[in-house]
Amino acid sequence: MSISVLGAGAFGTALAITLAQNGPVTLWARDADHAEEMQRTRENSRRLKGPRLPENISVTAEIALAARSETALLAVPMQRTGAFLAEHAGLLQSKTLVSCSKGIDLQTLQGPSALIRQFCPDAVPALLTGPSFAADIARGLPTALTLATPEDDEALQQALSTPSLRLYRTTDLTGAELGGALKNVYAIGAGVVIGAGLGDSARAALMTRSFAEMVRFAVAQGARPETLSGLSGFGDLVLTCTSPLSRNFRFGLALGAGEAFDPSVTVEGVATAKAVSILAEKRKIDMPVASMIAALTEARISVPEAVLTLLARPLKQE
């Protein structure tokens, strides 16, 4: 099975590096200078400094070249995915398109699988999601992810697993993508708690209530609850809410401490918090934590006000 990775950010590059253990990989970057530099230096110094690109990764800025493969992994940020698919739909039809992005598109309020179905109706949508930092995958550290496909696809699982990257299959695309989208929102919240000095007990409470919300929201959209208890839900929530390697967590840390954060860093949870709070209101799903995080990121509320509001909610059964 020939494989390309579309998007040469930290994650796309890391996936290309690990998949190169199985055979040749084409890595597409949107910027021709960036592609040429990576092809020559065998490093992605802009997005993933350090790890070496094996010789069987060929880097290109020619999308038509990258689109020759049967399977393409999409690793562009969520809020750019719709425009990317619209622009290149002609080349991507009839492929298996594996989205590696985590979030909900703010314009359409859809996740990556619905965007793939909208723009490339003849493609097979799939998702690769779960707890894994690009740097860990690129270094060959042990990682486990969820592969979600509409038909239980063992061949794809085999093709995308490597000696250090272990994939588990599911057919629950809704659950897999909503777990990955929502955990970024809650990681911002966990960062705020720690950045504001509210303590580890408060973070544990936030994570637990966030998990309850995540399950409630995803099940209301047709997800299976057990998917949310797996790698793409609980697993990624734990990783991202507790590690300073997470950009969403670090963004929250800065927000909680009242410090500035580099706007060029990809922080998927900000747009997704807004999308989730809009969807929750429309569909009447109780999502107090996500809605509070949306209000915080939009500076509609201060951290002390957010804490007071959450603590003042009526007492109820767990």
Ligand X SMILES: NC(=O)C1=CN([C@@H]2O[C@H](COP(=O)(O)OP(=O)(O)OC[C@H]3O[C@@H](n4cnc5c(N)ncnc54)[C@H](OP(=O)(O)O)[C@@H]3O)[C@@H](O)[C@H]2O)C=CC1
Positions at the binding site for sn-glycerol 3-phosphate:
102, 130, 132, 183, 236, 246-248
Q: How far is the CB of 188 from ligand X (least distance, A)?
A: 13
Residue 49, both tokens: 């400094």
Interaction residues for ligand 13P, span 20-39 (CB under 6 A): none
236 binds ligand 13P (CB under 6 A): yes
Secondary element (H or E) of residue 178: helix 173-195
Classified as helix, coil or strand, 111 is coil
Rounded to whole angstroms, the maximal C-alpha distance in the chain is 61
Cβ atoms 112, 149 nearer than 8 A: no
Residue 221, both tokens: 């959209």
Q: How far is the CB of 122 from ligand X (least distance, A)?
A: 21
Q: How far is the CB of 188 from ligand 13P (least distance, A)?
A: 9
Residue 50 CA to residue 140 CA, distance in Å, equals 13
Torsion of CA 229, 232, 236, 237, to 10 degrees: -50
Interaction residues for ligand 13P, span 248-267 (CB under 6 A): 248
75 binds ligand X (CB under 6 A): yes
Which one of 183, 274, 282, 316 is the catalytic residue? 183
How many residues bind ligand X (CB under 6 A)? The answer is 27
Q: The dihedral of CA 262, 264, 267, 270: what is its sign?
A: positive
Interaction residues for ligand X, span 220-279 (CB under 6 A): 266, 268
Classified as helix, coil or strand, 44 is strand
Q: Which does 240 bind (CB under 5 to 8 A by kind): ligand 13P, ligand X, none?
A: ligand 13P
Q: Which does 239 bind (CB under 5 to 8 A by kind): ligand 13P, ligand X, none?
A: ligand 13P
Pairing relationship of beta strands 71-74 and 57-60 according to DSSP bridges = unpaired
Looking at 44, 81, 132, 291, which residue binds ligand 13P (CB under 6 A)?
132
Q: Which does 248 bind (CB under 5 to 8 A by kind): ligand X, ligand 13P, none?
A: ligand 13P
Cβ atoms 136, 129 nearer than 8 A: no
100 binds ligand X (CB under 6 A): yes
Known binding-site residues for NADPH equal 11, 30, 102, 134, 247, 265, 268
Cβ atoms 20, 39 nearer than 8 A: no
Residue 148, both tokens: 């979600």
Looking at 247, 270, 287, 291, which residue binds ligand 13P (CB under 6 A)?
247
113 binds ligand X (CB under 6 A): no
Active site residue 183: yes
Residue 201 CA to residue 181 CA, distance in Å, equals 24
177 binds ligand 13P (CB under 6 A): no
Rule CB under 6 A: which residues touch ligand X? Answer: 7-12, 30-31, 34, 46-47, 75-78, 80, 83-84, 100-103, 132-134, 266, 268
* Active site residues per annotation: 183
